[in-house]
Amino acid sequence: MKDLCYCQYAFTRPGCRAREIGPGVDPRFRVELIRDESVAALVSRVELRCFSVERRHGPTTEDAPWLGRIAARYNEILCRAATTAPVLPVQLGTLYCSSDSLRVALRRCRATVAEFLERLGNRLEWGIKLYLEKHRPEPVPGHLGPPPPHFSLGDRCVRERTASAERCASAGASSSGASSTIASIRRRVHADRSCIDDELVRTIESVARRLAAQAESSRRIGEGPNGLADRMGVVFHAAYLLPASSQASWFETVQNIYGDVRCRGLVLEVSGPWPPYHFCPALE
């Protein structure tokens, strides 16, 4: 095959156990590492003609199911890798024509990547959504209600197998602190203002503060008045970066919040753990 190239999933450390992950997005080729001193690229081979820009960015009706399967496998590979080493995800469809060109990219951003991976350590991302109960969608795998009463890290949430390409491409998303909570909530529910009163806004603002206080870092997701979240009744969506040492106390807070918001007509949904999609530095 003369048009083989490398599809990159993430930057990671040389100790990542890539061979245990299995096949890449093209099932004919296994996931592997290309190392360069203190950092490595998590990659697999793909046929360039099968991953053209046109097919990835402008899918037809026939291409859409294919892109969904690619995005789901991409997410699964990153989740598996993150259990063995810190990862810095890259955008879905990052391709290199040769190992040499990939090593050039590794060297160019090595310092930034190494610093991020060192700082990340064993931290993983967890997601929280609050829905208006009357708009809540049907449950799907990987989206959970409250953690069970004796939730422990050994009972890890089922990972979502159908993650969208948009989520996979979200590294480097901008943050929004608790101070902007009221304004952003009102923007996000502009189409259904009758459902939101001042007390409900204060409830959501309190949720944002309580969750952020227990996390090392947090990011708001999906800001803007015209996003899918509005149509689905999502009034709050955020990601939280948690070290292993604080996950138990954070989930205790989540359990308490779940009961508090139900009486206000809200449903809380937890997802994760994920690679740090929303906490990655900008790379050249």
Task: Give the model confidence (pLDDT) of 153-198 as tens digits.
Answer: 222 232 232 233 333 333 333 333 444 444 554 454 444 444 556 7
Domain-terminating residue out of 73, 104, 120 = 120
**194 φψ region: left (φ > 0), alpha (ψ -120 to 50), beta (else):** alpha
Domain-terminating residue out of 120, 136, 153 = 120
The tally of domains found in the chain comes to 2
| Average pLDDT over every residue of 259-267 | 83
Q: What percent of the chain has pLDDT over 70?
A: 68
Whether the pLDDT of residue 64 is over 80: the answer is: no
Tell me which residue range forms the domain holding 176: 124-279
Place of tokens 């009463």: 149
Judge if 203 and 155 occupy the same domain. yes
Judge if 104 and 56 occupy the same domain. yes
Q: Which two tokens stand for residue 28?
A: 């004919």
Whether the pLDDT of residue 241 is over 90: the answer is: yes
284 domain-assigned: no
Q: At what angle do helices 99-108 and 110-120 cross, to 10 degrees?
A: 70
When the pLDDT of each residue in the chain is averaged and rounded to a whole number, the result is 76
Query: Residue 3: which pLDDT band, with cuts at 50, 70 and 90?
Result: confident
Judge if 221 and 248 occupy the same domain. yes
Judge if 142 and 273 occupy the same domain. yes
Judge if 134 and 98 occupy the same domain. no
Judge if 242 and 161 occupy the same domain. yes
Judge if 11 and 99 occupy the same domain. yes
**If you average pLDDT over each of 94-98, 145-149, 225-229, which comes out highest?**
94-98
148 domain-assigned: yes
Task: Output the pTM of the full model.
Answer: 0.72
74 domain-assigned: yes
Judge if 75 and 157 occupy the same domain. no
Residue in 28, 60, 72 with CA at minimum distance from that of residue 47 = 28
CA angle, residues 153, 156, 162, in degrees to nearest 5: 155
Judge if 79 and 137 occupy the same domain. no
Query: Residue 141: which pLDDT band, with cuts at 50, 70 and 90?
Result: very low
Judge if 268 and 132 occupy the same domain. yes
Domain-terminating residue out of 85, 120, 155 = 120
209 domain-assigned: yes
Judge if 116 and 143 occupy the same domain. no
Judge if 155 and 190 occupy the same domain. yes
Cα gap 95→99, rounded to integer Å: 11
CA angle, residues 77, 27, 48, in degrees to nearest 5: 95
211 domain-assigned: yes
